[in-house]
Structure 1
């Protein structure tokens, strides 16, 4: 029984990992069960034996992609010591992320486009991830203020909203125009704003 359960879990995860790039690149409407069957080499019964519907696979695919991206960002942040370094590392990651087209781009953007009234669960999932990503930025700023690195006037929550929104917008426009100019401009402006809130200590510069 345990072996069977583990095998089913592995098959389910395998389907999610194979289907996730499809949904990220083609969207819910553009991805068919046939597409999923082709990339997994499974029959329709093999797919539906693990999921109730295409919508469930889509939801799980978004969770998989979003959490993978979040884990990568956490690792980027963990490598740095100061608040400035952590924020700059996030900005550098997004600038490099734009160059990586193999996975189809940012899942928050791609799934969010279809997160309307027709897909309320996905809409809620995307919204929760947005709060998660903004919260990461806000916490870094707040911790920097508490450590005496940033001025008390640094508006953590407002800056988090601004930074996240500007980066996601730059990702979208950059992919459409096939240009890195917008992202480079945005990251430069955000870094300049961060510097303005630094407490002027030699160790912080």
Structure 2
């Protein structure tokens, strides 16, 4: 990377947690100036406007989440262990895998009916996440680990919805007891599908 590319990347990395925590609309360019220690003119050299920076920050946050999930599940060979690892990535929403919280939930809620570009990015990751869960289940069915009649598409939606719901409950109540219940319930549901 040349100096300009490094500076652009630094701006994204420094502003991404701020957008994820504070929100796209509530984060001002002055906030970005504070965290990057750059002038407004320097920011506009690298990003023509705030919307372009927001898109880059959303991409960065969601990429960080994807990387954490993939790294967690790739530690295991067994499909059951992979599903458990996926669940455990979200076990403590008060100490989230991405600074500022779950970017799908944060940006998805803010972008709804406001920003179709960001909403599209979030929808894409929602679909990818459910597909990943479904793929792990299919792998387990093919290996004879899970019951052949397990509806992998249905469970992937249930699991994803329960995890995101648990993140929402934990963030609003500032307690993780409900997420702990969700974690245990999902694992029991998975164990019930073992051959």
- Pairwise same-fold verdict (TM > 0.5): yes
CA distance in 2, matches of 1:72, 1:36: 25
Answer whether contact 2:94 2:174 (CA < 8 A) is retained: no
User: CA shift at 1:116, angstroms?
Assistant: 2.3
Matched, 1:121 2:114: no
CA distance in 2, matches of 1:118, 1:171: 22
User: CA shift at 1:164, angstroms?
Assistant: 0.6
Specify the alignment match of 1:39 in structure 2.
35
Specify the alignment match of 2:12 in structure 1.
16
Specify the alignment match of 2:129 in structure 1.
133
Matches within 5 A, 1:28-107: 28-96=24-92, 98-100=93-95, 103-107=99-103
Structure 1 residue runs without a partner (length 5+): 200-205
Matched, 1:185 2:185: no
CA distance in 2, matches of 1:103, 1:130: 19
User: CA shift at 1:48, angstroms?
Assistant: 0.7
User: CA shift at 1:99, angstroms?
Assistant: 3.4
Residue-pair matches, total: 194
Answer whether contact 2:108 2:119 (CA < 8 A) is retained: yes
User: CA shift at 1:142, angstroms?
Assistant: 0.5
Q: 1:165 aligns with which of 152, 155, 161?
A: 161
Residue 52 of structure 2 aligns to a residue whose secondary structure is helix
Specify the alignment match of 1:202 in structure 2.
none
The 4+ residue runs of structure 1 with deviation greater than 4 A are none
CA distance in 2, matches of 1:42, 1:127: 32
Specify the alignment match of 1:110 in structure 2.
106
Answer whether contact 1:151 1:197 (CA < 8 A) is retained: yes
How far does the alpha carbon of each residue in 1:23-57 deviate from its partner, in whole angstroms, 9 at most, with x for none?
11111111000000111111111101111111111
Aligned-pair Cα RMSD in Å = 1.3
Tell me which structure has the larger Cα radius of gyration: 1
Residue 108 of structure 1 aligns to a residue whose secondary structure is helix
How far does the alpha carbon of each residue in 1:147-186 deviate from its partner, in whole angstroms, 9 at most, with x for none?
1100111111111111011100100111110111111111
Specify the alignment match of 1:152 in structure 2.
148
CA distance in 1, matches of 2:161, 2:39: 41
Q: 1:194 aligns with which of 183, 190, 193?
A: 190
